[in-house]
Amino acid sequence: MEKHLDQLSTLAHPGRNAIFRLLMRRYPDAVPAGEIADALDLKPSTASAHLASLRGVGLIRQYRQGTSLRYRAETGAAQGLVDFLFNDCGRGRADLRPRIPSPLSSPHANGGDPMADRRYTVLFICTGNSARSIFAETILRDLAGDRFEAYSAGTRPYSELHPTAIEMLRQKGHDVSGLRAKNVSEFQRPDAPRLDFVFTVCNRAANEDCPVWEGQPMTAHWGMPDPVKAEGTEAEKVLAFQRAYGALRNRIIAFNALPLETIGRMSLQNAVDDIGTSRQEGDDA
């Protein structure tokens, strides 16, 4: 009990709470300390103190990569804290049980037709919605449109899609006529489609504290470098877009191969997390 009370006390501090929530959104990434401080507008010394407190109660773990210190959320500790609140503090009352949607494999999880008879809805999010998330939306739509309804949006979308991204999609045979930049707010309205999956494909978008999604869709972080920010020759810039397209295509192929109709929710969460840590280069298109 004392360990869990220490964890609750630690999370009661707004700064430490913000760091833990960011690392949960970025899981399974190990995030550099400097990026955490920048994302939350914290002084390095303040971020370091908060990180030390979270480590001290076992809510996060520290890793060293070269000269950089990185931090990852300890999901097992978070689960233990939830269990403590429910089983010990709540005495296991059924009316206090966390409300988690039925697994996607449930035959009537949507209150209607079997899940196997409907398309799953997927939203890809990045900051600008001009390249990576547009790639992902288009690839999933064209690769498995009979199984998935694909969308993309940006937390701060540009007014226009990146011309190199659009040209690359055309060259690879995709229809780009209906593509447009969208804000995530479109998918938080009452009339928005019910989402089954939400994937962030850039670190900056994952760092932002978005509202909880209606219906609690399964979420994962598939972060990768932004090709729009690539520097160098024109050929090197185009190569950055090629790599982003190839990495997303490989991940979406792996995602489409998952047996969504039969896999349990925990196994599915582990699977989509694993896809996010897969190799980020290569294009077998």
Residue 283 lies in a domain: no
Three-class SS of residue 161?
Answer: coil
Domain match, 149 and 255 both: yes
Contact status, residue 134 vs residue 165, Cβ threshold 8 Å: yes
**pTM for this predicted structure:** 0.81
Q: Which residue range(s) make up the domain with 39? A: 2-76
Domain match, 57 and 120 both: no
Domain match, 64 and 156 both: no
Domain match, 63 and 131 both: no
Domain boundary among 47, 76, 105: 76
Domain match, 119 and 69 both: no
Domain match, 143 and 222 both: yes
Residue 230 lies in a domain: yes
How many domains does the chain divide into? 2
Domain boundary among 29, 51, 76: 76
Domain match, 265 and 130 both: yes
Give Cα separations from 5 to 12, 131, 170, 192 (angstroms): 10, 44, 56, 39
Cα Rg of the chain, angstroms: 20
Residue 110 lies in a domain: no
Residue the block writes with tokens 């401080």? 37
Residue 85 lies in a domain: no
Residue 32 lies in a domain: yes
Contact status, residue 148 vs residue 120, Cβ threshold 8 Å: yes
Residues 211, 197: Cα–Cα separation, whole Å: 15
Residue 92 lies in a domain: no
Three-class SS of residue 100?
Answer: coil
User: pLDDT of the chain along its 285 residues, tens only?
Assistant: 899 999 999 999 999 999 999 999 999 899 999 999 999 999 999 999 999 999 999 999 999 988 889 999 999 999 999 899 888 888 777 777 766 655 454 433 444 444 455 789 999 999 999 999 999 999 999 999 999 999 999 999 888 899 999 999 999 999 999 999 999 999 999 899 999 999 999 998 888 877 678 888 999 999 999 999 999 999 999 999 999 999 999 999 999 999 998 888 889 999 999 999 875 444 444
Domain match, 206 and 264 both: yes
Domain match, 265 and 148 both: yes
Indicate the Cα dihedral angle 243, 248, 254, 257, nearest 10°: -130
Residue 108 lies in a domain: no
Structure token digits, residue 13: 């501090």
Residue 195 lies in a domain: yes
What CATH number does residue 157 fall under?
Answer: 3.40.50.2300
The neighbouring-strand residues paired with 220 are 199
Structure token digits, residue 55: 């480590």
Q: What is the pLDDT of residue 45?
A: 96
Q: What is the pLDDT of residue 68?
A: 87
First to last CA, the chain: 54
> Which has the closest alpha carbon to 280: 248, 253, 242?
248
Domain match, 268 and 152 both: yes
Contact status, residue 124 vs residue 150, Cβ threshold 8 Å: yes
